[in-house]
Amino acid sequence: MTIELPDVIAAYFSADKTGDARAISECFTFDAVVVDEGNTYAGREAIRQWMANASTQYTYTVEPFALEEDGARSVVTSRLVGTFPGSPVDLRYRFVLRDDKIAELEIVP
């Protein structure tokens, strides 16, 4: 199933496929916040390091398959398959956008 994602969210998932942590961080506002696995990462540099570490710790693919709007959030449900415990898993990526960038991202089961 093909879904139409907002441009910056599509850019995020595209950069994730290539493992480009810098390109991923550039999808975010300078003061963005990411919450993943109970950890909070604030600011572009922390987000870049979070993604760089995730890319070296596990090998995975992510495939978005659903999009819904929940108030100010765009919620993208994606299938993650890889070398991590519990694979495969469907995760919800809750994005808040500001000025065509990602201001907040929370990743939850």
Task: Tell me the pTM.
Answer: 0.92
> Residue 27 domain-assigned?
yes
Which pLDDT does position 67 carry in this prediction? 97
**């999808």: which residue's tokens?**
27
> Residue 65 domain-assigned?
yes
* DSSP conformation class of 71: T
> Residue 48 domain-assigned?
yes
Mean pLDDT value across residues 34-61: 90
**CA angle (33, 26, 92) in 5-degree steps:** 50
Which pLDDT does position 31 carry in this prediction? 97
Q: In whole angstroms, how far apart are CA 14 and each of 5, 8, 17, 21, 72?
A: 11, 10, 5, 11, 23
Residue 72 host element (H or E): none
What's the pLDDT tens digit per position in 22-38?
999 999 999 999 999 89
- The whole domain housing 13 covers 7-108
The CATH number of residue 25's host domain is 3.10.450.50
